[in-house]
Amino acid sequence: MERLRLAPSFRVSCFLLGILIGSSSLTPPPPPRSVISLVGNRVVLPCSWKELLPDVAPAASHVLWATPAKTVFELWGDRTWQAEEFQGRAGVPRAALPSGDCSLVIRDVQIADAGRYEGFMLVNGGRARKTRIFIQSVRLAVLDRKSIESRSPGEDFVLDLYTNHSMRVVFQPRNSSVWSDLWMRGDEDSQRLEKHLLKEELKLKRLKRADEGLYRVVDEHGLAVNTVNLYVEGSGEALKFQQMFEAQLLKASSGATPGRSGSLLLLWAVLLTSFLNLLSSE
């Protein structure tokens, strides 16, 4: 079958038409931006349309943000639209539009929010005939949280969940390669583990040495939100008890007879040993 040949002038006309449809401004868009945030924070993806579209009235602004896969957010007039996974978390502040600021604000940013975002303005006529003008590309990186903490036996340990998208906590004991479920959202409180009523926090009470290890908070996608390497060592209460013991020993040795001093020493030694054994066995 003979292939259809297009005249060079027709191909050039199509190319120029594509340029006119894709952009109504000769001003090139700014270079891509990069933004880095920790999970759970509020993040701003910067965008400004004034230089590219100086003749557009703020009242007629139609802002659209999208990823390569889908539309994330739209604002036109008094109306807004958000993708399901961004419900209640994404927005473009209307008060900033008159100055040309069309930045996308994402609250409680999640690991799964990471990726490339593109901001557009829709101009010219009704919505069905509007031309989408590219304004800004932003690469968002979202990092999980990592920390090392130390507690004494008998103390409480508060684990930050950071976001209501955190669904599960898993635990890997020290010197073990096995992870086990410690908590899932919706679980009832136990004698040693309780979820704060208002804050995204989980409290593990009366730590034991067996509680040493890695605690990992994961979201609904199984992605890590927060990892804490917990060490349980050295008791603050034991230190206070030991200081009391040394003070009593000094007092006994300075003001008592040799026989009585030895008896007091023996008594305090027994009490201290018993107390330390009690802490280590919890």
Mean pLDDT by 10 residues, the chain (282 residues): 45 36 53 95 92 67 92 91 95 88 96 96 68 92 96 96 97 96 96 96 96 97 97 65 59 54 55 52 46
Compute the distance between CA of residue 8 and CA of residue 5 in angstroms, rounded to an integer: 9
- Count of C-beta atoms within a 10 Å radius of residue 177: 6
pLDDT value for 18:
38
pLDDT value for 26:
46
Compute the distance between CA of residue 72 and CA of residue 206 in angstroms, rounded to an integer: 45
> Which residue do the tokens 């804490």 mark?
228
pLDDT value for 21:
38
CATH number listed for the domain at residues 145-232: 2.60.40.10
CB–CB of 89/118 below 8 Å? no
CATH architecture classification, 24-143:
Sandwich (2.60)
Q: Which two tokens stand for residue 120?
A: 């557009």
pLDDT value for 50:
77
Compute the distance between CA of residue 276 and CA of residue 238 in angstroms, rounded to an integer: 7
pLDDT value for 175:
92
Q: Which two tokens stand for residue 85?
A: 């996974």
List Cα–Cα distances, 145 to 40, 79, 106, 177, in angstroms: 10, 36, 18, 21
Kindly report the backbone phi and psi dihedral angles of residue 155, in degrees, each rounded to the nearest multiple of 5, phi listed first. -80, 170
Instruction: Please enumerate, as own/partner, the contacts of 21-28 that have beta carbons within 8 Å and a separation of 24 or more.
Output: 21/131, 22/134, 23/133, 23/134, 24/53, 24/123, 24/124, 24/131, 24/133, 25/52, 25/53, 25/133, 27/51, 27/52
pLDDT value for 158:
98
Query: Considering the chain, what is the average pLDDT of its residues?
Result: 81
Element (H, E) at 263: helix 258-281
